[in-house]
Amino acid sequence: MKSLLVRDAEKENRFEKHPKRNIVLILLVSCALMTVFAEYALHLKNQRSFRPGIYRYIRLKEHRPLALQRAPIPRSVLEDSDSLK
């Protein structure tokens, strides 16, 4: 009976044996959990606007090639930019 008590007292805690390894493990697990929770929150947010097959997208506006498009610039903006007042 005495030998069991001595062995238990001599054992070290896992966190005392490998502190760096445990800290890294805790950080990796917490980062993984934060990522999972963030993805779940984004999933819930994007559920309202359901588009089948598309979960995340960017809406791009493209102009036809070789098209001449000129945006009219107001006279007041030209005068301010060129300092022609």
Higher pLDDT pick, 44 / 69? 44
Question: For residue 6, what are the contacts with CB-CB under 8 A and spacing of at least 6?
Answer: none
CA 55/CA 42 separation, integer angstroms = 10
The pTM of the whole model exceeds 0.85: no
Chain center to CA of 67: 38
pLDDT (mean) for 14-23: 90
Percent of the chain with pLDDT over 70: 71
**What's the pLDDT tens digit per position in 52-67?**
666 666 777 777 777 7
